[in-house]
Amino acid sequence: MTESAAPRDDARSNSESVVIFDTTLRDGEQSPGATMHLEDKLQVAEILDQMGVDIIEAGFPIASEGDFEAVAAIAERARNAGVAGLARAIEADIARCGEAVRKARRPRIHTFVSTSPIHLRHQMNKSEEQVLEIIARTVTQARNLVDDVEWSAMDATRTPIDYLCRCVEAAIRAGATTINLPDTVGYALPHEYEAMFRQVRERVPGTDKVVFSVHCHDDLGLAVANSLAGVAGGARQVECTINGLGERAGNAPLEEVVMAMRTRGDSLPFRTGIDATYLNRASKLVAAVASSPVQSNKAIVGRNAFAHESGIHQDGVLKNAQTYEIMTPASVGVTKTSLVMGKHSGRHAFKDKLRELGYELADNALADAFARFKNLADRKKVVYDEDLIALVDDEIVHAHDRIKLVDLTVFAGTRGPQSAVLTLAIDGEENTHQATGNGPVDAIFNAIQALVPHGATLELYQVHAVTKGTDAQAEVSVRLSEDGKTVTAKGADPDTLVASAKAYVASLNKLTMRRAKGRDALAS
């Protein structure tokens, strides 16, 4: 490592360009409970487009009407990025995908088929020869619809290299322009993944005409290491997601891949088109809309990523930040928080504060958030950054909910029965119900059950304080399960009972979305 950890411009100018393919809205959305509304997806796509992502994989158009609509809307709106949709190696999938991305400046169809023996035998029930024929036929179909076709060998890392080479050759002959070799189950080790790319590139004719791509899952915590190894092996596209959101343990986090290349340009001579100052904001937005909080010690975007606790570290950082910081917080969009918020703070200071925290809200959302901040500041002496984050996350996540909490009065105490009078607006129509229960939370949940009858089971009810003190906001998490699917959602409020009601209602909203998606979805 060079003595100065700062990125070196001379290394940069000789560097090769790597395409960033973001799949937060497709693989990321496949993460349990991360289903997003159309409006949320549009917001995420907008920030990805602004930050310089080359390709946004916006969804899986055949999976549901909602996915099709989202891909089509993002295709129409993206100003800089190309837009891809995912399609299985099935004629109807590819046709639907072509239709969804049609209006993009740079439309891409991303089609995939499994190539590993275990998938062929147990999932597809197809022979190797049949799969080769499918690749040739479906890639040709996609190429007849768009010029930019990505083909993926699902479970490539568990596919014998000879057969993998034959599949890649068939895809290139049929006109694929990008060849993705995913580590679908997060099984590969970095040296193996690098070797796989080297071998395929050496052995298959025509590989100099296509871009190779990495797509790594994090089951062994190796997604970033494997992605970088794949690039060392000749891949020039990295598929990744904000915060590493994705199936099971997730995908390679975009922010880590980008900052590794940037910070270690001395040994990784690659550059991306990403403006890293957007990373913090993108992370906050995705965490909020996917209801998937970022762990505090997460690299680059975790709350503690730039916090120095020990005296020796603090001393060093005060003398020269480079003693313990290999990147500046500002380089990833974390600015020093300077404004203290309270009930006298005005709209302008509120907006500036949110920007410091990484949020940029549209006018209406800002007005709503400001009204809720004023309400909170009246009830709490000091409004901490964590309070604002909880409040704004709540605003972003619940802006498009069908079921909304309007009013709640609870009778609690030592003399039972505890009861709750609750008013909900369901698709704009208000209804009130009074219920009793075994404690106030049970009474609230019974009232909700009466107003929104459902068969879901309550799997988790958890309360934690957002900050210290008895006036701290409570953040409640509620997990519901129905037909083997689970959803988790949160609600925040200084009143724990109100937070509980909000969290339960939020979970029901997610369940409603999930049901709608499930109804449309095709069996894969």
**Which residues are at the interface with Zn ion (CB under 5 A)?**
27
Instruction: Examine residue 218 and tell whether it contacts ligand KIV (CB under 6 A).
Output: no
Considering only the C-alpha atoms of the chain, give the largest distance between any 2 of them, rounded to a whole number of Å. 81
Instruction: Examine residue 184 and tell whether it contacts ligand KIV (CB under 6 A).
Output: yes
User: Quick one: DSSP state of residue 433?
Assistant: E
Pick 27 or 93: Cβ nearer ligand KIV: 27
Q: Which of 35, 152, 292, 331 binds ligand KIV (CB under 6 A)?
A: 152
Pick 57 or 356: Cβ nearer ligand KIV: 57
Phi-psi region of 469 (alpha: psi -120 to 50; beta: other; left: phi over 0): left
Pick 25 or 334: Cβ nearer ligand KIV: 25
Strands 237-240 and 270-271: unpaired
How many C-beta neighbours within 10 Å does residue 276 have? 21
Pick 217 or 502: Cβ nearer ligand KIV: 217
Strands 418-426 and 429-437: antiparallel
Write down the least CB distance from residue 71 to ligand KIV, Å. Answer: 15
Are the C-beta atoms of 228 and 190 separated by less than 8 Å? yes
Write down the least CB distance from residue 288 to ligand KIV, Å. Answer: 24
Instruction: Examine residue 280 and tell whether it contacts ligand KIV (CB under 6 A).
Output: no
Instruction: Examine residue 182 and tell whether it contacts ligand KIV (CB under 6 A).
Output: yes
Residue 112 binding result from ligand KIV, Zn ion, none, given CB thresholds of 5 to 8 Å by partner type: ligand KIV
How many C-beta neighbours within 10 Å does residue 460 have? 12
Pick 60 or 384: Cβ nearer Zn ion: 60
Residue 108 binding result from ligand KIV, Zn ion, none, given CB thresholds of 5 to 8 Å by partner type: none
Pick 70 or 305: Cβ nearer ligand KIV: 70
Tell me which stretch binds ligand KIV (CB under 6 A): 129-137, 177-185, 432-440, 490-498.
177-185
Strands 211-216 and 457-465: unpaired
How many C-beta neighbours within 10 Å does residue 352 have? 14
Residue 152 binding result from Zn ion, ligand KIV, none, given CB thresholds of 5 to 8 Å by partner type: ligand KIV
Strands 418-426 and 403-411: antiparallel
Write down the least CB distance from residue 110 to Zn ion, Å. Answer: 11
Pick 26 or 502: Cβ nearer ligand KIV: 26
Instruction: Examine residue 67 and tell whether it contacts ligand KIV (CB under 6 A).
Output: no
Pick 230 or 265: Cβ nearer ligand KIV: 230
Question: How many of the chain's residues bind ligand KIV (CB under 6 A)?
Answer: 9
Instruction: Examine residue 60 and tell whether it contacts ligand KIV (CB under 6 A).
Output: no
- Determine the Cα–Cα distance for residues 244 and 271; give it in Å rounded to an integer: 20
Tell me which stretch binds ligand KIV (CB under 6 A): 178-186, 278-286, 303-311, 369-377.
178-186
Write down the least CB distance from residue 177 to ligand KIV, Å. Answer: 15
Write down the least CB distance from residue 356 to Zn ion, Å. Answer: 34
Q: Which residues lie below 8 Å from residue 224, measured CB to CB, with a gap of 6+? A: 216, 252, 253, 256, 257, 260
Are the C-beta atoms of 273 and 54 separated by less than 8 Å? yes
Write down the least CB distance from residue 251 to ligand KIV, Å. Answer: 8
Pick 145 or 249: Cβ nearer Zn ion: 249
Residue 510 binding result from ligand KIV, Zn ion, none, given CB thresholds of 5 to 8 Å by partner type: none
Structure token digits, residue 160: 């014998």
- Determine the Cα–Cα distance for residues 330 and 64; give it in Å rounded to an integer: 40
- Determine the Cα–Cα distance for residues 429 and 419; give it in Å rounded to an integer: 23
Instruction: Examine residue 169 and tell whether it contacts ligand KIV (CB under 6 A).
Output: no
Residue 479 binding result from ligand KIV, Zn ion, none, given CB thresholds of 5 to 8 Å by partner type: none
Instruction: Examine residue 154 and tell whether it contacts ligand KIV (CB under 6 A).
Output: yes
- Residue 57's closest CA among 297, 315, 237? 237
The 3-state secondary structure of 179-230 reads EEEEECCCCCCHHHHHHHHHHHHHHCCCHHHCEEEEEEECCCCCHHHHHHHH
- Residue 21's closest CA among 177, 198, 236? 236
Instruction: Examine residue 399 and tell whether it contacts ligand KIV (CB under 6 A).
Output: no
- At 473, the amino acid letter reads Q
- At 329, the amino acid letter reads P
Tell me which stretch binds ligand KIV (CB under 6 A): 123-131, 176-184, 308-316, 411-419.
176-184
Instruction: Examine residue 34 and tell whether it contacts ligand KIV (CB under 6 A).
Output: no
Q: Which of 96, 215, 479, 502 binds ligand KIV (CB under 6 A)?
A: 215
- Determine the Cα–Cα distance for residues 25 and 151; give it in Å rounded to an integer: 19
Write down the least CB distance from residue 287 to ligand KIV, Å. Answer: 21
- Determine the Cα–Cα distance for residues 420 and 235; give it in Å rounded to an integer: 59
Instruction: Examine residue 27 and tell whether it contacts ligand KIV (CB under 6 A).
Output: yes
Are the C-beta atoms of 177 and 149 separated by less than 8 Å? yes
Strands 474-482 and 457-465: antiparallel
- Residue 20's closest CA among 74, 81, 110? 81
Strand order in the sheet with 418-426: 403-411, 418-426, 429-437
Instruction: Examine residue 492 and tell whether it contacts ligand KIV (CB under 6 A).
Output: no
Write down the least CB distance from residue 223 to ligand KIV, Å. Answer: 11
Using CB under 6 A as the binding rule, the residues of this chain from 76 to 115 that contact ligand KIV are 112
Residue 59 binding result from ligand KIV, Zn ion, none, given CB thresholds of 5 to 8 Å by partner type: none
Residues that bind ligand KIV (CB under 6 A): 27, 112, 152, 154, 180, 182, 184, 215, 217
